[in-house]
Amino acid sequence: MNPYEAYMNELVDAYRKDLTKYNFEEFTTKEAVKDFMDNVNDDETTFVVINSMCGCAAGLARPAARTVALQNPITPDHLVTVFAGQDKEATEEMRTYIGQEPSSPSMALFKGKELKYFLPRMFIEGREIEDIMMDLKDVFDEYCQ
């Protein structure tokens, strides 16, 4: 690993832990994403957070995602994350399943392999965190029962 990569890994460690310490499984390779998505059952729900270093990820996306995932009475079967700009192949692979324009941060909910909901950056940035949390709560309540 070159010095730049080492520095970036150290820098983003706290941003990664902002989700992984709350039971989000982090995928850092294309193979890990593919293995997970290929083996998810059709009746299972998966909440995906495409993490990033930007301010809207730190102040809005990650706090909203972890709060609703931990506190809502109805939650997805799986909580997963990939880190855009850091784990590029893993992020690109997850985006193939999402099938939307690349957006970081963003969030998606799957039932099996079927995308049920996608929240791109443009609907995160500039909003109140409570509104994002209500969007997620409504989606969890609808699809995760």
Distance CA 53, CA 134 (A): 23
Distance CA 135, CA 143 (A): 12
Spacing of C-alpha 127 from chain mean position: 18
Q: Could you give phi then psi for residue 132, rounded to 5 degrees?
A: -65, -45
- Residue from 56, 61, 79, 144 carrying the catalytic annotation: 56
> Are 81 and 20 spatial neighbours (Cβ–Cβ below 8 Å)?
yes
Active-site residue, 144 included: no
> Are 88 and 104 spatial neighbours (Cβ–Cβ below 8 Å)?
no
- Residue from 54, 60, 124, 139 carrying the catalytic annotation: 54
Q: Which residues pair with 86 in a beta bridge?
A: none
Q: Which residues pair with 47 in a beta bridge?
A: 79, 109
> Are 91 and 84 spatial neighbours (Cβ–Cβ below 8 Å)?
yes
Residues involved in catalysis: 54, 56
